[in-house]
A and B are shown apart, each in its own frame.
Chain A
Amino acid sequence: MYLKHALRAATALTFVATAAAHAQSITIATVNNGDMIRMQGYTDKFTEATGIDVEWVTLEENVLRQRVTTDITTKGGQFDIMTIGMYETPIWGANGWLVPLEGMSAEYDVEDILPAMRNGLSHDGTLFAAPFYGESSMVMYRTDLMEKAGLEMPDAPTWQFIREAAAAMTDRDNDINGICLRGKAGWGEGGAFITVTGNSFGARWFDEDWKPQFDQPEWNEALTFFVDMMAESGPAGYATNGFNENLSLFQQGKCGMWIDATVAASFVTNPDDSTVADKVGFALAPNADGVDKRSNWLWAWALAIPAGTQQEDAAKQFIEWATSKDYIELVAENEGWANVPPGARTSLYENPEYQKVPFAKMTLDSILSADPNNPTVKPVPYVGIQFAAIPEFAGIATQVSQEFSAVYAGQQSVEEALEKAQAFTAEEMEAAGY
């Protein structure tokens, strides 16, 4: 009798186990950008190799951020892998919300991940997310307009040169703006840009005691410079321009220069979409005269595993596959080297084929020159270049960037905006217990 029961139970367990093995499936939340969409197209290869099905939840960046934050803080368990950035990773890692990415295989070669990326995605030396692609920011400029203006772009320009060149390239009659930059409110939009601009003028968000620094002269100098330069040479209504608006302007030949994410290089040099594809040059992001810090940021979209997932092993397998050297080669084989996910691995930049891509070197130089631990000239208590990796930052920086956007729109003065930014930030930081 007992034997009969035991046999039945064993048979049932075998069925369940077999069904589970066949039905193993992971759910990945991700952003909608070219590299991520391309990866979805290759997922079948992963499933063929491992038998693990992959379900994708693709969302717009801000929606994704809210969605995965809600899920991870409530332990909702909706996702086995989340696409997160450099801002969230150290905070969530410190809170114990992510599975440490330890014990990756030797072929995966963790040491090959660019040190800047590895550091930015770690907490206390433990890697919590693997970079799928990384980016910094750099100058993209029209070589023909620069030549026409009788100027030559140095590899490492200063803000003063950029301003002079922008003025010389501006041709209002032909709807050409010397420079296009982000002014749109939002911590990841105009907020990120003005933060790195501030860094390159020696400004910082907080001093070592977490006291806001908007009342310091460096911020005034940076913001005034930005506003004056954009008034002289920027497009009308730049206060509402973000990445997409400037990309559109640049692709239509309406910008002499654009300083933004290195990932934009592949868009502006793509002849299918850009009218100026063969007239684009690249340079490092500028710094102010005498300030030894450039205005380039560092960002990575990375894959992380939320703690509590039931599919930890399968999720790790996927991350190993998606962020491996083999995956890069797979994309290169099918779509060319210009389309591989950039900015994550050292070996990619040592590859002679990739070195032929026009923006490869400048992208690497920009990433290598970014240091999240020392984002500006003076010491800071936070990690991050275009952000401070503390939970309160997103809310505070969104409000501050709204004040700055109001300056760009001519609704208030630089001094008024800085005064409000200082008061608001001080109040929020005090309330948060800093």
Chain B
Amino acid sequence: MARAVTPRRKSLNTALAWAVGLLIFFPILWTILTSFKTEAQAIASPPLFLNFNWTLENYAIVQERSDYMRFLWNSVIIAGGSTILGVIIAVPAAWAMAFVPSKRTKDILLWMLSTKMLPAVGVLYPIYLLFIRLGLLDTRGGLVVVLMLINLPIIVWMLYTYFREIPGEILEAARMDGATLKEEILYVLTPMAIPGIASTVLLNFILAWNEAFWTLNLTAVDAAPLTAFIASYSSPEGLFFAKLSAASTMAIAPILILGWFSQKQLVRGLTFGAVK
């Protein structure tokens, strides 16, 4: 039986949720505000919140100095490509682990996840050398493969969790109706797991979009995504905080908008199966 919530408690919870939300969002808000300041205003002490002369100069400078659209396009291709490829590989893998598990399934899952604990720099040289041999340095294709491999354990884990919530009897019924394995996965399992798959896709797209180790180390000009775009405005000798903030705002804007519009889908997918 659901417990009654008093209006006072409800208000308190709402206020608390807003406070936490604002706290988490504040660094992004501050970055956006700083992007509209001059460099002198950006470092002013005490900090200026809204009472400054708003300027678009930093955006103009960033636009003039860098080919933003090229970086953006690379980010879309790399993040999108690695996510789609990852899901194509992970759906059958997660199906096998969820519906026909072996004695070693749990161990395999844990082992897969443990690869995420390896510091990326530990395998930089082998992967760099491999990329040279295969001619993949500074190519979007190379990065799609690397980011897919990096995020694959998470994709498999998430899909495995969602698939486990789907009753096996439904798949059995499909089989009895003569569905082949491919049809079972494509026409029965996938439609039922759409919320889970959607949230997996979104989360991994965000992870791939934000990835800043491999994307910086394996690219130069042609395949450089928005992470390289931001890195080009950071400097330990010179105060370019306003320009850096403008570049950061331009880099996070697409993913922020995507997250905003898909938040219902994301939350639904992440809580899928949480309440039975």
Contacts and interface: CB of A to CB of B under 8 A. Distances in A.
Interface in B169-200: none
Given A59-B228, A59-B231, A76-B137, A66 B236 contact: no
A422 to B, nearest CB: 28
B15 interface: no
B242 to A, nearest CB: 11
Interface residues of B, number: 31
A273 B40 contact: yes
A76 B128 contact: yes
B24 interface: no
Contacts of B232: 32, 57-60
B135 to A, nearest CB: 11
A26 to B, nearest CB: 11
Contacts of B238: 32-34, 244, 247, 267
B124 A70 contact: yes
A79 interface: yes
B124 A33 contact: no
Interface stretch (B86-94, B108-116, B216-224): B216-224
Interface string A242-256: 111001100110100
Nearest to B39: A273
B237 A263 contact: yes
Contacts of A75: 132
Interface string B232-273: 111111111000000000000000000000000000000000
Contacts of A243: 236-237
A63 interface: yes
Contacts of A248: 43, 45, 239
A388 interface: no
Contacts of A27: 220-221
A62 interface: yes
Contacts of B131: 76
A189 interface: yes
A71 B137 CA distance: 10
Contact of B237 (A55, A74, A77, A244): A244
A74 B128 contact: yes
B100 interface: no
A342 B221 CA distance: 29
Interface in B121-153: 124-125, 128-129, 131-132, 137-138
B103 interface: no
A33 B237 contact: yes
Contact of A70 (B65, B128, B138): B128
A362 B216 CA distance: 38
B2 interface: no
Given A40-B65, A252-B43, A63 B128 contact: no
Nearest to B216: A63
B44 interface: yes
A261 interface: yes
Contact of A267 (B132, B228, B236, B239): B239
Given A33-B238, A189-B236, A243-B236, A251 B40 contact: yes
Contact of B231 (A55, A63, A70, A273): A63
A58 B132 CA distance: 21
Contact of A66 (B45, B217, B220, B224): B217
Contacts of B240: 32
Main secondary structure of the interface of B (DSSP, over half): loop
Contacts of A251: 40, 43, 239
A60 B239 contact: no
Interface residues of A, number: 43
Interface in A20-43: 27, 29, 31-34, 37, 40
A74 B132 contact: yes
A29 B129 contact: no
Interface string A50-80: 0000010111111100110011001111110
Interface in A160-202: 188-189
A42 B228 CA distance: 22
A254 B129 CA distance: 49
A272 interface: yes
A431 B208 CA distance: 39
B40 A74 contact: no
A61 B236 contact: yes
Nearest to A263: B237
Contacts of B217: 66-67, 70
Contacts of B239: 244, 247-248, 251, 267, 273
A32 B234 contact: yes
A74 B235 contact: no
Contacts of B128: 70-71, 74, 76
Contacts of A67: 216-217
B221 to A, nearest CB: 5
A252 B221 CA distance: 38
Contacts of B224: 57
A244 B137 CA distance: 33
Contacts of A267: 238-239
A32 B235 contact: yes
A80 to B, nearest CB: 10
A87 B43 CA distance: 31
Contacts of B237: 33, 61, 243-244, 261, 263
Given A243-B236, A243-B237, A251-B40, A78 B220 contact: yes
A244 B236 contact: yes
Nearest to A275: B40
Contacts of B43: 248, 251-252
A45 B34 CA distance: 34
Contacts of A61: 235-237
Contact of B236 (A62, A76, A274): A62
Given A61-B237, A75-B132, A76-B128, 5 more contacts: A32-B238, A33-B235, A33-B237, A78-B138, A248-B43
Among all A-B residue pairs, the 9 with the closest Cβ atoms: A58-B232, A60-B234, A32-B235, A248-B43, A78-B220, A55-B221, A273-B40, A57-B220, A61-B236
21 contacts: A27-B220, A32-B235, A33-B235, A34-B238, A37-B65, A40-B65, A60-B232, A61-B236, A63-B231, A67-B216, A71-B128, A78-B137, A78-B220, A243-B236, A244-B235, A244-B239, A248-B43, A252-B44, A272-B40, A273-B40, A273-B239
